[in-house]
Amino acid sequence: MSSIATLPTSPLSPVALELYQAHRQSIYRRTDRMFAVLMSIQWVFGIVAAFLVSPRAWAGTTSSIHPHVWSAVVLGGIISALPIMLALLRPGHTETRYVISVAQMLSSALLSDCFTTVHLPLLIVGDRSGRRPVG
């Protein structure tokens, strides 16, 4: 015998429920605006860090701006633009939180790529003397 469980009626009054919804929505809006500031700071940090870690790429005697700097500026701007815009124009909406979360993951991947690929070739190439590493 199977029966479908029904949800109990809410013990809260309609006024309390309305106050709760308004408070929750204000938290969502404030959090979205906080992430707009965070995304901006994160983008600027990525650019500064790329300039500090590897500002120039050398090919023989010629140098140019390192691709990590370009990726920090361009990709960081593309990744940050939509969540910042949505957080300012549509704070508190579900879609805004989803876009912010995806942008945070992409920003993390971009920063990780900028900092790990600088030293990764040294780990891959290693010692070319023909000796095997100990251990």
Tens of pLDDT, residue by residue over 115-133, are 665 554 544 555 555 555 5
User: What pTM value is reported for the model?
Assistant: 0.68
Q: Radius of gyration over alpha carbons of the chain, in Å?
A: 24
Percentage of residues of the chain with pLDDT beyond 70: 73
Torsions phi, psi for 62 (to 5 deg): -100, 150
Tell me the β-bridge partners of 58: 63
Q: Taking Cα atoms as reference points, which of 8, 71, 22 lies closest to residue 43? A: 71
